[in-house]
Amino acid sequence: MIKKYNWIALAFFICFIFLWVFMFFSKENELCVTDFNKVDFKNLTDVDKFLLIDEIGNCIEDPEKQLQMLKKID
């Protein structure tokens, strides 16, 4: 009976580790999808501007580079 509970606990532990690792790596991969060098800043809609501002905040760590990119949007 005790061995049965050990296997159940081990299965839950393995599932927890798998889900934790999956969630961590899925967030890393989703952060940056835009190549900022290929963006046409002249023909942006309001939705495009909003999404680019979010991408710039998530992807670019250097504050000066963020400011330069934000100035291009306006």
Instruction: Label residue 29 by pLDDT band (50, 70, 90).
Output: very low
In 21-32, which positions are buried (b, 16+ CB within 10 angstroms) versus exposed (e)? Answer: eeeeeeeeeeee
Take residue 18 and report the two structure tokens written for it.
């798998």
9: left (phi over 0), alpha (psi -120 to 50) or beta: alpha
CA-atom Rg of the chain in angstroms: 21
Q: pTM surpassing 0.85?
A: no
Q: What is the pLDDT of residues 40-61, one digit of tens each?
A: 888 888 888 888 888 888 788 8
Sign, CA dihedral 26-31-37-39, equals positive
